[in-house]
Amino acid sequence: MIRQRIIITGRVQGVGFRPAVYRIAEQLGLTGFVYNDTMGVTIELQGDEGKIGEFLVHLQEGEDKPPLAQIKTCKSFDIDLVSGCDQFVIKTSDAEGTSLSQVTADLVVCQNCLGEMKEKTDFRYWYPFINCTNCGPRYSIVKSIPYDRPNTTMSVFEMCDRCKAEYTDVTDRRFHAQPVACPKCGPKIWLTNRKGQQLETQSNEVIRETAKLLLAGKIVAIKGIGGFHLVVNALDDQAVKRLRQRKRRDHKPFAMMCDSVEKIRRYAKVSELARQLLQSPERPIVLLPKKEICSIAQDVAHGVNTFAFMLCYAPLHFLLFAGGIDVLVMTSGNISDEPLICNNDKALEKLGDVADAFLMHDREIYRQVDDSILHILDDEPVLLRRSRGYVPTPIITEKISDVDIFAAGSDLKNTFCFVKHNQLICSEYIGDLENADVYHHYINSIEHLRGLFEVEPKAVICDLNPGYLSTQHALSMPCIKTFQVQHHWAHIASVLAEYGLDEPVIGLGVDGTGYGTDGAIWGCECLIASAEKFERFAHLSYYRLAGADKASKEAIRPILGLLMKTYGDNFSLDKFGWLLEPIAPDLDKLSIIVQQIDKKINTVDTSSMGRVFDAVAAMAGLGSYNNFEAQLPMALEASIKTGIEEHYEFSFNEIAGEPLELDLRKMFEQIIDDIQRRVDCGVIAARFHNCIAEALLETAQKAKEKSGLSTVALSGGVFCNRYLANRLIKLLKENHFRVLFNRRVPSNDGGISLGQAEIAAKLMQ
Ligand SMILES: [Zn+2]
Ligand SMILES: [Zn+2]
């Protein structure tokens, strides 16, 4: 008789791992316990040495291994026997009694459940809410802990005898699967018209009828796992056009869904890594290069070179595609920038003018969770939006925080984050807080996530920007300690958090806007930074931006600021009329902005790189207005002609006692020459991107000379630009830098809260 402690890491939580361990231990007559710890799962086994060996083989290779589990490491060592240990139990806390959240992320329906759903003799045949311990909704249905059925939105459904028998049978795949249900006892589905009147009474016909409507070009609002989607046939030009008009989302690319990778391959290029990501249990949206010629409706994704695809993940999706559908637009069910809708009545109220029909169900979604979005940078998966499938899984750090911390995030693309022990618990994507409904959602979400993880913040951290609602909320919280930190420092710290790096780096924080320590709007920053402190080594030379709120939408504003900076007294509207007129035909408006900039009326000094991209895109003829964030920069990236290596010129200004200034005046002169000579827009776009990559490389080299550091951390929304990020990473590596960048949280403002959390944890040490 021996006793062993076995420590397992990998994807082992929320995938039915502990019940599987329990079953194998019981079968082999072993005693002890299993619990989820902060790194994975810890097991203690007592019994015959041979049986423990057998246990490990079963767990790693046997049929009993939960299908979604992935064991990364498995270490076992002998410990002292425990007397009186006569049974095997599943524990909910670790050895020190730290209570750990048992709430995991929502996962794709598993193959076993799918098999049963398609089996005519199964009592859950064609049942769209089939699930088991290995799959199904979790985070989206949990109201509070402990994660038991009464604390989920499944509490209103009383289990029938058959479901209950499975739920209570430890040898069953549905042992303690909280959302377990069947057609007799569980949630139901129905179809209504836009007024909420039921269309089809036969419940087994509802999904087939929905598929028919979609194939006939109708827009259907479909309630899924994390909220409603607005759905149309992606091959139907007219239907997609109608959805754009009705959703008042004129330009933003729509996400699409297929039921197999083979189908996606008809429309987009799917690399091996992309295939793995599409098929992962988190089932994110993956951005894939478009195929030149394909039958997807024009209006699905204008002005970008990628399609956003995901595979079916809810049982309902699989049933829908069984109705003969090829590819669907599946865009979030909301109006412009409002929160995702997850409630039936609200859907009818808000989307009644958008959708022709509603496919609804009565399993309440407690937390709305958007689809997550990934793309691939430097052959690595990188999250652009971290929500369904990933949240609330904590990011684990080596460092242990003695106090709980709340990080409020940024006002744009908000997420927030808690620090507890060695866990960084990031929220799902919340949205832009300036929308009142989104702000309300933010406040509620903070309390919900805090409750699920039993966090008691003793410190709060937020942005330096006094105008941010997140800052104001954080400052109003009763806490012992409050920190306000600079935006780009938080960006760089988010990279340090991901890599667990406790040393200074050269940080390149490049984005549209972040409040600076000097009151200017920063946006292209080279910081020598650790989680403890930062020094501003260099930045883009300031230019003046008129009309604060409009400046990120109307490209003419940064254009005028940048031209006036470039040409100084040689600038006049007459001289540049040929360039400006196509972008902003209203001459009076132009001269007002020029005067504003000249006299510093309602202007800010900025080093924003995002606005430089807006300006170049508009001058190159790609539009004049960002209808959604980064529309112009995305169009510029999509227009790049491949195979061009040359770049525009740039310089640096050295001013004693001040940070180094990156000067792009030469670049603007050359761009304007190229435009005048009618050089192809794709060539201009390539030379411009190459110039920015070279300029950032040289900035990093200068920082290296001064600091002796050779690790560069990249963060900020501009690095969502694949061409720029890939090129800069390559250049830096060729020049012997170690390059770190965001992968597990977005490099845009969705990653700010993680960086803030990292800084606060360090400062509280
Ligand atoms: Zn399942
Ligand atoms: Zn049942």
C-alpha 184 to ligand 2 mean position (Å):
5
What is the rounded distance in angstroms from the CA atom of residue 495 to the CA atom of residue 498?
5
Residues at Cβ < 5 Å from ligand 2 ion: 160, 163, 182, 184-185
- Number of the ligand closest to the Cα of 133: 1
Residue 470 has φ and ψ, to the nearest 5°, of -65, -40
What is the rounded distance in angstroms from the CA atom of residue 511 to the CA atom of residue 497?
19
C-alpha 166 to ligand 2 mean position (Å):
9
Query: Which H or E run includes 405?
Result: strand 395-407
- Mean pLDDT along residues 566-580: 95
591 has a pLDDT exceeding 90:
yes
What are the residues whose beta carbons fall under 8 Å from the beta carbon of 84, sequence distance 6 or more?
none
Residue-wise pLDDT tens digits, 80-90: 999 999 999 88
C-alpha 257 to ligand 2 mean position (Å):
30
The DSSP bridge pattern shows strands 285-289 and 306-311 to be: antiparallel
CB 300 within 8 A of CB 254: yes
Residue-wise pLDDT tens digits, 338-388: 899 999 999 999 999 999 999 999 999 999 999 999 999 999 999 999 999
Residue 162, Cβ density class (10 Å: 0-12 exposed, 13-18 middle, ≥19 buried) = middle
C-alpha 284 to ligand 2 mean position (Å):
30
Q: What share of the chain is helix, strand, coil (3-state, %, to 5)?
A: 35, 25, 40
C-alpha 207 to ligand 2 mean position (Å):
20
C-alpha 176 to ligand 1 mean position (Å):
12
What are the residues whose beta carbons fall under 8 Å from the beta carbon of 193, sequence distance 6 or more?
199, 356, 357, 358
C-alpha 480 to ligand 1 mean position (Å):
45
C-alpha 173 to ligand 1 mean position (Å):
8
- Mean pLDDT along residues 54-67: 84
C-alpha 316 to ligand 1 mean position (Å):
13
- Number of the ligand closest to the Cα of 67: 1
C-alpha 130 to ligand 2 mean position (Å):
10
C-alpha 118 to ligand 1 mean position (Å):
13
Query: Which H or E run includes 114?
Result: helix 111-117
C-alpha 737 to ligand 1 mean position (Å):
45
Instruction: Report residue 613 as tokens.
Output: 């991209």
User: pLDDT-based confidence at 62, cuts 50/70/90?
Assistant: confident
C-alpha 168 to ligand 2 mean position (Å):
13
What is the rounded distance in angstroms from the CA atom of residue 388 to the CA atom of residue 226?
7
What is the rounded distance in angstroms from the CA atom of residue 666 to the CA atom of residue 695?
12
Strand segments, DSSP code E, in 608-710 are 651-653, 660-663
- Number of the ligand closest to the Cα of 187: 2
- Number of the ligand closest to the Cα of 174: 1
Residue-wise pLDDT tens digits, 193-210: 999 999 866 767 899 999
- Mean pLDDT along residues 145-153: 88
CB 130 within 8 A of CB 173: no
C-alpha 123 to ligand 2 mean position (Å):
9
Alpha helices in 547-662 (DSSP H): 556-567, 573-580, 587-599, 610-619, 631-639
Q: HEC states along 230-242? A: EEEECCCHHHHHH
In this prediction, residue 69 carries a pLDDT of 80
User: Residue written as tokens 């170049």?
Assistant: 616
CB 41 within 8 A of CB 159: no
- Number of the ligand closest to the Cα of 180: 2
What is the CA 236 to chain-centroid distance, rounded? 29
Question: How many CA atoms lie less than 13 Å away from 344 in the CB half-sphere?
Answer: 17
Q: HEC states along 465-533? A: CCCCHHHHHHHHCCCCEEEEECHHHHHHHHHHHHHCCCCCEEEEEEEEEEECCCCCEEEEEEEEECCCC
C-alpha 110 to ligand 1 mean position (Å):
4
- Taken in order 11, 16, 18, 23, the sign of the CA dihedral is negative
In this prediction, residue 126 carries a pLDDT of 94
| DSSP code for 720 | G
C-alpha 222 to ligand 1 mean position (Å):
22
pTM: 0.93
- Mean pLDDT along residues 572-583: 95
Q: In terms of Cα–Cα distance, which of 722, 683, 521 is closest to 611?
A: 521
C-alpha 167 to ligand 1 mean position (Å):
13
What is the rounded distance in angstroms from the CA atom of residue 566 to the CA atom of residue 172?
71
- Mean pLDDT along residues 56-79: 85
98 has a pLDDT exceeding 60:
no
- Mean pLDDT along residues 305-322: 97
C-alpha 288 to ligand 1 mean position (Å):
28
C-alpha 186 to ligand 2 mean position (Å):
6
CB 540 within 8 A of CB 609: yes
CA-to-CA separations, 306 to 65, 241, 245, 268, 682, in angstroms, rounded: 37, 19, 22, 8, 17
94 has a pLDDT exceeding 80:
no
C-alpha 114 to ligand 1 mean position (Å):
7
C-alpha 63 to ligand 1 mean position (Å):
15
What is the rounded distance in angstroms from the CA atom of residue 693 to the CA atom of residue 675?
21
Alpha-carbon torsion, ordered 408, 412, 414, 418, to 10 deg = -30
64 has a pLDDT exceeding 80:
no
- Number of the ligand closest to the Cα of 131: 1
- Number of the ligand closest to the Cα of 157: 2
CB 217 within 8 A of CB 236: yes
What are the residues whose beta carbons fall under 8 Å from the beta carbon of 626, sequence distance 6 or more?
552, 553, 555, 614, 632
In this prediction, residue 60 carries a pLDDT of 85
Length of the chain: 765
C-alpha 80 to ligand 1 mean position (Å):
38
C-alpha 103 to ligand 2 mean position (Å):
23
C-alpha 164 to ligand 2 mean position (Å):
7
In this prediction, residue 95 carries a pLDDT of 58
C-alpha 107 to ligand 1 mean position (Å):
9
User: Residue written as tokens 């900076």?
Assistant: 565
623 has a pLDDT exceeding 90:
yes
Instruction: Report residue 67 as tokens.
Output: 């299908």
Lowest mean pLDDT among 34-43, 170-179, 410-419, 437-446: 34-43
C-alpha 105 to ligand 1 mean position (Å):
14
What is the rounded distance in angstroms from the CA atom of residue 114 to the CA atom of residue 429?
29
What is the rounded distance in angstroms from the CA atom of residue 229 to the CA atom of residue 223?
6
Residue-wise pLDDT tens digits, 259-301: 999 999 999 999 999 999 999 999 999 999 999 888 999 999 9
The percentage of residues in the chain with a pLDDT greater than 70, rounded to a whole number, is 98
Q: In terms of Cα–Cα distance, which of 36, 29, 79 is closest to 54?
A: 29
What are the residues whose beta carbons fall under 8 Å from the beta carbon of 202, sequence distance 6 or more?
none
C-alpha 56 to ligand 1 mean position (Å):
23
- Number of the ligand closest to the Cα of 315: 1
CB 713 within 8 A of CB 496: yes
CA-to-CA separations, 649 to 616, 667, 672, in angstroms, rounded: 15, 5, 13
Residue-wise pLDDT tens digits, 36-53: 776 778 999 999 999 999
End-to-end CA distance of the chain: 44
C-alpha 160 to ligand 2 mean position (Å):
4
- Number of the ligand closest to the Cα of 182: 2
C-alpha 159 to ligand 2 mean position (Å):
5
C-alpha 169 to ligand 2 mean position (Å):
14
In this prediction, residue 81 carries a pLDDT of 92
